[in-house]
A and B are shown apart, each in its own frame.
Chain A
Amino acid sequence: MSQAAEIDPAAQLDAAYDGLRLAGLTKSFAAFTAVDDLDLDVPRGSFFALLGPSGCGKTTTLRMVAGLDSPTSGTITLAGQDITRSKPYQRPVNTVFQSYALFPHLDIFENVAFGLRRRKQRDVETQVADMLDLVELGSQARKRPAQLSGGQQQRVALARALINKPEVLLLDEPLGALDLKLRRSMQIELKRIQTEVGLTFIHVTHDQEEAMTMADTVAVMNKGLIEQMGAPAELYENPRSTFVANFLGQSNLIAGTITSRASDVVTVDMHGITVSVPTGRTHTDGDAGWVGIRPEKVLIGEPGEELDAPGNTIPGGVVTDVSFVGVSTQYLVRMPWGQELQVFQQNTGRVRMFRVGESVELSWRPEYAFVLDQSQDASAGAQQVGVDG
């Protein structure tokens, strides 16, 4: 699964692939390339999340799948059929639009019934009523969209697309306007519907937590390209680029030089301290790299304290900031080479808290670290919120 981003050319010719396949998809607006030679396989029946910063081309990608924009080059196949040039109304694809795009002249009921009526379906009445109950809007059926709140409109947009049970449902930030409670319950509902009906969902979101909890596969997109895709845990635990390391959660990235490469382990010199990283987690061919470690994987202790037997130990730290956030304590530790590292310590009650100015030693298990290419920007994809590093 994790290798899916690099589509095997033999598989690409395989017309029997029953999912949605985007191959070499490019969309340019005048001189600007919004989507750049994108290859993507979305397995049939999967819940696929497309995650990326604003303006990275997520909506443009969905519009091409829906047929609302035609690609500058590349192909789109669905279950082996080339749909690149087919009209939107001919595709078994529906969209929940980022802007809702509800019909203002029709009431909620007729908005939801729209797709069924165009396809001359039977028992429209019961289907729509059921769908409206599902999104908890049964009592609003005869109102016009303008009379609903933003969150209610969003649910109408969802119902209007979902009721058609398309082969692929495209969701462009469908839960963005909902409050946290409704958001959680709609997430569960969406996931349930997706599993029950077995539809393919492509879910675009800014919210990484939403992407991680709901999706089978997450693709992280940046500047019109897929940076990495895979199962949520894998993406988080073993990022291949600084962008992914910073965009999904937070990472400490420490400059280092690779001193030896063995079949199973790579040794890195990190400002005079030698640490080891599994070969499978080393994503650079060069000699220079960024050693990456998630803050919650770093252990903190007094100098000389035996922290975790087989770990990499980095002495000489000084605590510069302590913030207690309930479930954990977040430290900033200045290292001898001047960099501040983030450390999250679980409040198990069995460890003592450190104070600002105390000398400490850091340690982590080699299997949690990863090495990234040093040519990448160490702050790529970093969120503004949280600790400034």
Chain B
Amino acid sequence: MAETTRRKGRVGYLLILPGGLWLLLFFAFPFYSLVATSLYDPSGSDFRGYEMSYAFGNYVDVIRDYWQPMLRSLLYGATATFFCLVLGYVLAYAIAFKSGRWKVLLLVLVIAPFFTSFLIRTLSWKLLLADDGFVVDTLQFVHILGADDRLLATPFAVVAGLTYNFLPFMVLPLFASLDKIDYRLIEASGDLYANPVRAFFKVTWPLSLPGVVSGTLLTFIPAVGDFINAEILGNTNTRMIGNVIQSLFTDANDYPAAGALSVILMLMILAMVIVYVRRAGTEELL
């Protein structure tokens, strides 16, 4: 007994090895270098080189300078995640329970956007929402939008782009959870006097929670750090933290500030995820 558990433990370590090495090489080392960069002397530059001065002041500076895009990122990310959840749940539910023999085809369609680049797809939204485009013309025609109103370069466009781009990350885990639900449980709840609405909230929804949790995480985390959507579909007032980091790195060459912002973003997301998973109470289901 003891022998077999020990053997199992050893096999476990062996299995962890390849992935562990990969992570060490491409995560742990860059992470170390990122943290180190964030603590360099801010007066350094690409030309003169940087000095390690444990400049924790960098963190204070970036929070003071960039708290607005930081909050905006969280807000946009959360809003997009919410819309993804609503749209994605309906879609995943339909695929899991109502699609019959079209199930596989629909799943392929869900991931079909991945066949083209993220950038191209976002650019096509730019065309879609363009000022003289069909969508805006129609909305102006029915007076939902005023003659001078636009969609492009608004927070709406950014959130819509984020929702669109990350929807598959929501749908797939939701589908996996919903598809696993034994339909006989839903029948049993009907037999026990639950009408379809109650059956949904008492049986289907709780059983799909693991999918909800992983779907929202897979959507929220990349959405908060995204910069493409705000770059292409937004304006100077919709800049997200990703845009700031990107321009600090590439335009301003202020590596310490960019590093500090990145570390803050990472810690913030980590803290929120921990609280969220705890609150959702689904550790045992995950």
Contacts and interface: CB of A to CB of B under 8 A. Distances in A.
Interface of A: 66-68, 87-89, 93-95, 97, 99, 101-105, 114-115, 118-119, 160-161, 164
A105 B199 CA distance: 13
9 contacts: A68-B190, A88-B187, A99-B184, A101-B188, A103-B185, A104-B207, A105-B203, A105-B206, A161-B192
B184 A118 contact: no
A99 B184 CA distance: 9
Contact of A115 (B185, B192, B195, B207): B192
Nearest to B190: A88
B184 A97 contact: yes
Contacts of A66: 191
Given A99-B184, A101-B185, A105-B207, A118 B198 contact: yes
B39 to A, nearest CB: 46
Contacts of B192: 89, 94, 114-115, 118, 160-161, 164
B32 interface: no
A114 B189 contact: yes
Contacts of A101: 182, 184-185, 187-188
A288 to B, nearest CB: 48
A68 B191 contact: yes
Given A101-B182, A103-B203, A105-B206, A118 B193 contact: yes
Contacts of B191: 66-68, 88-89, 93-95, 161
B107 interface: no
Contacts of B203: 103, 105
Given A87-B190, A102-B188, A105-B206, 5 more contacts: A68-B191, A89-B191, A101-B182, A103-B188, A115-B193
Contact of B187 (A68, A93, A115, A119): A68
Contacts of B184: 97, 99, 101
A119 B193 contact: yes
A118 B194 contact: yes
B160 to A, nearest CB: 34
B219 to A, nearest CB: 23
Contacts of B194: 89, 114, 118
A114 B203 CA distance: 11
A93 B192 CA distance: 9
A115 B185 CA distance: 13
A119 B193 CA distance: 7
Interface of B: 182, 184-185, 187-195, 198-199, 202-203, 206-207
A96 to B, nearest CB: 10
Dominant secondary structure at the B interface: helix
Contacts of A103: 185, 188-189, 203
A118 B188 CA distance: 13
A318 B190 CA distance: 61
Interface core residue of B182, B189, B207 (most chain A CB under 10 Å): B189
B71 to A, nearest CB: 36
Contacts of A94: 191-192
A1 B113 CA distance: 67
A283 to B, nearest CB: 39
A346 B124 CA distance: 90
Give the 7 A-B residue pairs with the shortest CB-CB distance, closest first.
Answer: A101-B188, A115-B192, A118-B193, A88-B190, A101-B184, A105-B206, A89-B193
Contacts of B206: 105
Contacts of B188: 95, 97, 101-103
Nearest to B181: A104
A99 to B, nearest CB: 6
A164 B193 contact: yes
Contacts of B182: 101
A60 to B, nearest CB: 14
A104 B207 CA distance: 8
Nearest to B209: A105
A27 B80 CA distance: 47
Contacts of A164: 192-193
A99 B191 CA distance: 14
A66 B195 CA distance: 14
A256 B156 CA distance: 90
Nearest to B194: A118
B228 to A, nearest CB: 38
A103 B205 CA distance: 12
B187 to A, nearest CB: 5
Contacts of A161: 191-192
Nearest to A119: B193
A115 to B, nearest CB: 4
Nearest to A120: B193
Nearest to B184: A101
Contacts of A87: 190, 195
Nearest to A101: B188
B205 to A, nearest CB: 10
A95 B192 CA distance: 8
Nearest to A94: B191
A67 B191 CA distance: 8
Contacts of A95: 188, 191
Contacts of A93: 191
B193 to A, nearest CB: 4
B184 to A, nearest CB: 5
B119 to A, nearest CB: 41
Contacts of A67: 190-191
A105 B188 CA distance: 14
Contacts of A104: 185, 207
Interface core residue of B187, B188, B199 (most chain A CB under 10 Å): B188
Contacts of B185: 101, 103-104
Nearest to B284: A144
A52 B285 CA distance: 40
Contacts of B202: 114, 118
A164 B189 CA distance: 13
B161 to A, nearest CB: 36
Nearest to A157: B188
A141 B193 CA distance: 22
